Amino acid sequence: MIELPPAYLAQPRWWHGGSEWLADLPGRVDEQCRRWGLEPDGEVMHGSNALVVPVRRGQTRFVLRLTPPEDDVAAEVAALRFWDGRGVVLLMEAEPAAGAMLLERLDGSRSLQQLPLSEAVPVLGRLMRRLAVPAPTEVRSTADVAAARRVDFPAEWERLGRPFPAATLSRALECAGELSTTGSTLAVNGDLHYEQVLVGGREPWLCVDPVLLRGDMEYDLARILWSRLDEMSDAEVRRHVATVVDEAGLDPGRARTWVLFRAVDYWLWGLGRGLTEDPVRCARLVDLFG
């Protein structure tokens, strides 16, 4: 059986439960390999949530990805099938109830995280545009996300001890109101960042773990910023925003509005889960874009 990497066991994801699933995980990998006729074929990798095992079926190489069953694996499977390799990793087989997916093998050691920001940021902008094809009508809209969070913000702000000024909360609520409607019906990856874009073979760069939304491409620009914000001066933050706007063809004003809204959203989310560094980064984005 495989051994779980210590870094995977230490992920914040497991601070709030999941120990039983982790204890059974090596056996789950073994069972899934038997079911799909796979043999382990390399060093085990992981993200914050998923375990990724290089595998082989005959001479063809894949990766086996396993996540806890309570995660919305079915939605990710649907996203992968929707984009069908367009800017994303190809899905070969899936058993959502088992949290299992068999995927084409990318170079897990080479992501946009390793590139200088001057090279990585334009790639993310181009991927935004590549993924922006007409989305299924039943997919959740970015406008729905903003509308739902607009309702939640005041109570969360109170519960967390009013962690930022009331004026910031009011501005975030204004942004949420503006973003609660959209005329866009394009597909959006709602989890686009450097570590989830890997070197591919069919295309130079491919997304993994996509979250399919419908609406504003500007939705995840804030994540592109806060993921590596410590590497950016204030001037570089503005320059990288301009780069993504140009590469993806975004609306500059709406991009700024989404950055402010999402920064407040993530600030509250992070505080609620005991995170310390990310709320500080969000505070900086609010100062820059508020």
Alpha-carbon distance 39 to 241, whole Å? 44
Q: Which residues pair with 103 in a beta bridge?
A: 63, 91
Alpha-carbon distance 209 to 197, whole Å? 9
- Give the type of residue at 235: A
Cβ proximity of 139 and 214 under 8 Å: yes
Helix axes 252-272, 277-289, angle to 10 degrees: 150
Cβ proximity of 77 and 95 under 8 Å: no
**CB within 8 Å of 68: residues ≥ 6 apart:** 18, 21, 49, 99
Alpha-carbon distance 181 to 144, whole Å? 8
Alpha-carbon distance 188 to 133, whole Å? 8
Annotated active-site residue in 41, 71, 144, 191: 191
Closest among 270, 281, 237, 271 to 256, alpha carbons compared: 237
**CB within 8 Å of 154: residues ≥ 6 apart:** 169, 173
Give the other-Cβ count within 10 Å of 202's Cβ.
11
* Active-site residue flag, 191: yes
Beta-strand runs (E) in 142-196: 186-189
Known catalytic residues are 191
